[in-house]
Amino acid sequence: MLSLTEDRPKCLVEAGEKPLLAWQIEALRGAGIQDILVVGGYLGHMLHGPFVRRHNPDWDKTNMLASLLVARDWLQAAPCVISYADIVYPARAVARLLDAPGEIALLYDVNWRKLWTKRFDDPASDAESFTLDAGGNVTGIGQKGVPLESIQGQYMGLLKITPAGLEWIEALLARQPELRARLDMTALLARLLAEGRKIASRPWDGPWCEVDTPEDLRVAEQILREETW
């Protein structure tokens, strides 16, 4: 993506004639979410729109968890939907997540092989472990190199966290503060599972896309043209 992000953050790369961020705001608003906060890093001064903007000053040496905690006061105040900035999804996907129970819940793609086959010559090269118990709670996530037949879905980058869920995260960091800078969201979820925390899930079988590469952008353009959004 370097050629597309030399002059802008990735969330401002356009797909379907709109920046990725605009698609996300449209989906969140469509699901009834009016208060939106965007945490920026690389070229964050370019982020403007109907949202509160904050900056992770250590963006170049930290990971997603550090950016998430820039919004700690919001997470303490009420349940929040957390969205990666390089994905596109419709409002009904957000509504599906909002319906999920529990202190932390995520949305996962049940038809992930269809999308991964479009994105990768070898879907197994990128797919990560994702397993559920009979009640739909996540039991494993984020490991590479697992048998494809054991994978029950793929985490989409949409997460709901309540204030109690934030307390789980802060309890983990109180014991291991070095994790604050290192963990991405999937690694965070895996750590919480290892501590016995319950992470709920909701399945999604509709359109969405992730834009990590120029090929992903081509796939996203196709999905935005062809699917019912």
| pLDDT for the residue numbered 116 | 96
Closest CA to 208 of 194, 195, 191, 227: 227
Phi, psi of 216 (to 5 degrees): -60, -40
Tell me the pLDDT band of 4, cut-offs 50, 70 and 90: confident
In this prediction, residues 101-129 reach a mean pLDDT of 96
Q: Which residues pair with 158 in a beta bridge?
A: 83
Q: For residue range 182-198, what is the model confidence (pLDDT) as tens digits?
A: 999 999 999 999 999 99
Domains identified in the chain and CATH numbers? 2-224 (3.90.550.10)
Tell me the pLDDT band of 2, cut-offs 50, 70 and 90: confident
Tell whether the model's pLDDT for residue 149 goes beyond 80: yes
Tell whether the model's pLDDT for residue 229 goes beyond 90: no
Q: Taking the model in full, what pTM does it have?
A: 0.96
Q: For residue range 165-187, what is the model confidence (pLDDT) as tens digits?
A: 999 999 999 999 999 999 999 99
**Residue 157 vs residues 109, 176, 200, 211: alpha-carbon distances, Å:** 10, 24, 14, 12
Burial (CB < 10 A; 0-12, 13-18, 19+), residue 196, is: exposed
**How far is it, in rounded angstroms, from Cα 191 to Cα 147?**
21
Tell whether the model's pLDDT for residue 152 goes beyond 80: yes
